[in-house]
């Protein structure tokens, strides 16, 4: 399995107790928030006294419904705590709401859980300008290890994420750029893990939970917490149970990002961890036929370089990417730096692969663009990831991230994941395993939809929901000012200076 996975030495973080990888797992993709929320709700409602629920999140809205009235996430977790379930959470202590982040939502989620007997801490142990971007939930059941489960991916427990494959948008919508309408369609992905890998996800939570570093170094935040008596000290967790027994046949490796921090270094990653970057670079270098990506950003020449190098080295390799047509935030200052990053990355890929690079953006049946928030990569149907990390320098070096990588020699898991995602975007099943057929299906679908639009929408609407994505051409002056914001705000570098100088991860 070393041919696809990182060895313990290649991971580059001897301070973590994570195993290099685990065997004997089942991995079930959960596509879009509605499917994930339903599986999560059933799992939480199946807990009883002395079971353990652990979760991390970038943002948590306490009133976000998992499946209709009465299933608000705070209510479901509070009901579990009332049953005697041990509930522990870590959410990012984000910036002020007026900057369109989620400080108040995360605070309120924690308050409600703690009032019910659980514990939810706001964690600001990040690099300056960074965030805790991990989104996972772990459920352990003493005496019932067959029920142990973990959910890992890119879906937050917050407004806007509860969309379905029809992409009519979450009824609890969030404001976004006007192009996405009042109820923005949202595409995302999570995986359900069973087997020994669940213990590894739990170990990731415990490393952060047991970190003795204060939750924030900001004196004003610490004064606020003292005045309002906010819980800032993690109570001890129950002893970790042995890893669950095998539940399938799949090997799983957890890949993570933690930034290098000069002050308040993570005891489990004092030099940071960049196994997400290292895992991608190792797998992409082995690509021979097809790389399939779904990504919110697809930014950064430093990151895109590994894909460009693979395209240059292997003339038969194709890259298919599905990205959002527009940035999520409105306004020129917010949008343009994102367009700058995308323009630079795609220019590098086009130079390396030419017509072997195929980039598309999806829309729903009404023609409203779908915001692609998924973070998925499939390489030759042999290696596949679903996680919280984007193809960006920020995700590979600066924020905390967690992704689930599966290396399946049979190709069944990765092929099934790729086909299912294609079916949602194209409206057809692709039964042919040849990568040429897969690429042609995307190209044909985009061309048919474009002809339908240019023909005045005459005749039946084609089944596909993708159009070719063309990066906007920015002026020289726009590149200058937006490039500064892009490098320092949108896509900062969290590597130590020595690695920056050499370009290594």
Higher-confidence residue of 222 and 10: namely 10
Residues 298, 364 within the same domain: yes
C-alpha 471/C-alpha 344 separation (Å) is 9
DSSP assignment of 39-64: HHHHHHHT--TT-EEEEEES-B-TT-
| Entry pTM | 0.96
Q: Do the strands 357-362 and 318-322 form a parallel or antiparallel pair, or are they unpaired?
A: parallel
Residues for the chain: how many in total?
Answer: 505
Residues 317, 242 within the same domain: no
C-alpha 250/C-alpha 307 separation (Å) is 26
Look up residue 247 and give its two tokens. 């539940």
Look up residue 484 and give its two tokens. 């500064």
pLDDT tier for residue 230 given thresholds of 50, 70 and 90: confident
Q: Domain ends where: 184, 213, 247?
A: 247
Cα–chain center distance at 13:
21
Mean pLDDT of 251-272: 96
Per-residue pLDDT at 97 exceeds 60: no
Residues 428, 482 within the same domain: yes
Q: Domain ends where: 199, 225, 247?
A: 247
Per-residue pLDDT at 95 exceeds 90: no
C-alpha 505/C-alpha 447 separation (Å) is 39
Q: Do the strands 22-31 and 250-258 form a parallel or antiparallel pair, or are they unpaired?
A: antiparallel
What is the tens place of the pLDDT at every residue in 203-213? 999 999 999 99
Residues 171, 91 within the same domain: yes
Residues 375, 231 within the same domain: no
Number of structural domains (the chain) is 2
pLDDT at 206: 98
Residues 189, 264 within the same domain: no
Residues 210, 150 within the same domain: yes
Query: Among 48-62, 101-115, 121-135, 184-198, which stretch is predicted with the lowest mean pLDDT?
Result: 101-115
Residue 194 lies in a domain: yes
Supply the angle between the helices 435-454 and 412-426 in degrees, to the nearest 10: 10
Q: Domain ends where: 216, 247, 278?
A: 247
C-alpha 370/C-alpha 326 separation (Å) is 9
Give the C-alpha distances (Å, rounded to integers) separating 158 from 34, 164, 338.
Answer: 12, 15, 23
Residues 273, 158 within the same domain: no
C-alpha 228/C-alpha 139 separation (Å) is 31
Cα–chain center distance at 342:
18
Q: Do the strands 318-322 and 290-294 form a parallel or antiparallel pair, or are they unpaired?
A: parallel
Query: Among 105-119, 333-347, 424-438, 466-480, which stretch is predicted with the lowest mean pLDDT?
Result: 105-119
What is the tens place of the pLDDT at every residue in 11-67? 999 999 999 999 999 999 999 999 999 999 999 999 999 999 999 999 888 899 999
Residues 228, 287 within the same domain: no
DSSP summary character for residue 434 = -
In sequence order, the 6+-apart residues with CB closer than 8 A to the CB of 235 are: 119
pLDDT at 107: 60
Per-residue pLDDT at 108 exceeds 50: yes
What is the tens place of the pLDDT at every residue in 336-368? 999 999 999 999 999 999 999 999 999 999 999
- Tally Cβ neighbours within 10 Å of residue 107: 19
What is the tens place of the pLDDT at every residue in 363-415? 999 999 999 999 999 999 999 999 999 999 999 999 999 999 999 888 999 99
Percent of the chain at pLDDT exceeding 70: 96
Give the angle subtended at the CA of 474 by the CAs of 471 and 476, to the nearest 5°. 150
C-alpha 340/C-alpha 344 separation (Å) is 6
pLDDT at 106: 60
Half-sphere exposure of 43 (CA within 13 A, CB side): 24
pLDDT tier for residue 105 given thresholds of 50, 70 and 90: low
Per-residue pLDDT at 117 exceeds 90: no
Per-residue pLDDT at 109 exceeds 80: no
Residues 318, 410 within the same domain: yes
Q: Which domain holds residue 397?
A: 254-502
pLDDT at 1: 55
Residues 273, 399 within the same domain: yes
Higher-confidence residue of 148 and 227: namely 148
Residue 7 lies in a domain: no
Residues 123, 30 within the same domain: yes
**Maximum separation of any 2 CA atoms in the chain, in Å:** 66
Give the C-alpha distances (Å, rounded to integers) separating 328 from 174, 182, 371, 484.
Answer: 10, 13, 7, 20
Whether residue 388 contacts residue 399, with contact meaning beta carbons closer than 8 Å, is answered with no
Look up residue 441 and give its two tokens. 């299906």
């Amino acid at each position: 399995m070393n041919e696809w996975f990182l060895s313990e030495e290649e991971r580059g973080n001897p301070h973590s107790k994570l195993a290099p990888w685990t065997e004997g797992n089942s991995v079930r993709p959960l596509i879009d928030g509605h499917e994930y929320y339903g599986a999560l709700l059933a799992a939480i409602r199946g807990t009883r006294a002395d079971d353990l629920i652990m979760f991390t999140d970038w943002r948590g809205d306490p009133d976000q419904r998992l499946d209709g009235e009465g299933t608000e996430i705070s209510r479901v977790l509070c009901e579990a705590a009332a049953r005697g379930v041990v509930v522990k959470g870590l959410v990012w202590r984000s910036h002020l709401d007026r900057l369109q982040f989620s400080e108040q939502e995360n605070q309120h989620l924690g308050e409600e859980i703690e009032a019910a007997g659980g514990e939810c801490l706001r964690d600001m142990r990040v690099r300056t300008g960074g965030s805790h971007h991990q989104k996972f939930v772990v459920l352990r059941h003493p005496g019932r290890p067959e029920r142990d489960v973990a959910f890992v991916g890119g879906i937050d427990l917050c407004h806007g994420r509860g969309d379905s494959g029809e992409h009519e948008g979450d009824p609890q919508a969030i404001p976004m750029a006007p192009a996405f309408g009042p109820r923005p369609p949202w595409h995302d992905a999570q995986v359900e893990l069973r087997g020994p890998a669940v213990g590894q996800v739990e170990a990731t939570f415990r490393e952060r939970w047991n970190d003795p570093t204060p939750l924030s170094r900001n004196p004003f935040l610490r004064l606020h917490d003292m005045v309002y008596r906010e819980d800032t000290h993690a109570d001890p967790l129950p002893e970790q149970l042995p890893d669950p027994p095998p539940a399938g046949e799949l090997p799983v490796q957890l890949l993570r990002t933690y930034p290098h921090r000069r002050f308040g270094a993570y005891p489990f990653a004092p030099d940071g961890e960049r196994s997400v970057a290292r895992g991608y670079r190792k797998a992409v270098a082995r690509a021979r036929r097809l790389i399939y990506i779904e990504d919110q950003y697809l930014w950064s020449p430093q990151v895109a370089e590994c894909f460009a190098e693979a395209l240059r080295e292997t003339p038969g390799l194709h890259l298919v990417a599905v990205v959002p047509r527009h940035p999520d935030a409105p306004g020129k200052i917010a949008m343009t730096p994102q367009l700058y990053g995308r323009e630079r990355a795609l220019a590098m890929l086009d130079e390396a692969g030419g017509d072997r690079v195929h980039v598309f953006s999806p829309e729903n049946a009404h023609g409203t663009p779908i915001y692609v928030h998924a973070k998925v990569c499939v390489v030759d149907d042999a290696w596949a990831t679903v996680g919280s990390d984007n193809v960006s320098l920020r995700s590979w070096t600066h924020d905390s991230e967690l992704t689930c990588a599966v290396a399946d020699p049979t190709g069944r898991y990765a092929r099934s994941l790729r086909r299912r995602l294609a079916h949602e975007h194209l409206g057809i099943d692709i039964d042919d395993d040849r990568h040429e057929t897969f690429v042609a299906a995307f190209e044909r679908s985009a061309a048919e939809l474009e002809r339908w639009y240019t023909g005045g929408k005459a005749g039946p609407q084609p089944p596909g929901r993708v159009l070719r994505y063309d990066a906007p051409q920015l002026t020289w002056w726009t590149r200058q000012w937006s490039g500064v914001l892009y490098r320092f705000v949108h896509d900062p570098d969290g590597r130590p200076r020595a690695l920056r100088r050499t370009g290594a991860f």
